[in-house]
Amino acid sequence: MRVHVTIGLMFALIACMNCGSPLPPSSSAVGDWEGRDAPLHFEYLHIRFTQQGSNLQGMACYTSDVHLVFSGVPVLVNYPRVSVSAPNGFMFVGEFQANGTISGNSGTGNSSYPMTLTRDTFGSYAKFCTTP
């Protein structure tokens, strides 16, 4: 009986070692990402991820049409989770997905809308998020 309990505990411990977050991302997460704010047609969240060792870091900006609403906001990354909390009250909370997107919810105050970020292949971060 005691052997069965010990073996059961060993299996439980081994199984729980795989319960946590996946390993930190490879360089595939590094780069520029963007997503349209669902209820607003011309407003976008832009995130640039860089990697230092095994740490993934990010900076965010938000544009409305061609106007920069905020920039230089640090992105909290606890892979696979990502969150942005801007001084103007905008928030985004999402996760890296197996399909190569970051999916989550964005909003201000009590409103929250689904938002999906995809790879920014047009250079929008550099174009809209940096000031001359």
Full set of structural domains in the chain with CATH:
27-128 (2.40.128)
pLDDT at 26: 57
Mean pLDDT along residues 89-117: 93
Per-residue confidence band for 132, with pLDDT thresholds at 50, 70 and 90: low
Cβ-count burial of 71 within 10 angstroms (0-12 exposed, 13-18 middle, 19+ buried)? middle
Average pLDDT, stretch 33-47? 87
The 10s digit of each residue's pLDDT in 53-85 is 888 999 999 999 889 999 999 999 998 999 999
**Residue 53 pLDDT:** 85
pTM of the model: 0.77
How far apart are alpha carbons 32 and 28 in whole angstroms?
11
Q: Report the sign of the C-alpha dihedral through residues 33, 103, 55, 68, in that order.
A: positive
Predicted confidence at residue 7, as pLDDT, reads: 39
pLDDT value of position 41: 76
Identity at 46, one-letter amino acid code: H
Q: Is residue 9 over pLDDT 90?
A: no
pLDDT for residue 11? 36
Q: Give the closest residue to 62 by CA, choosing from 95, 79, 78, 85.
A: 85
> Residues 32-42: what's their mean pLDDT?
85
Per-residue pLDDT band at 20 (split at 50, 70, 90) = very low
Reported confidence tier of residue 5, pLDDT bands at 50, 70, 90: very low
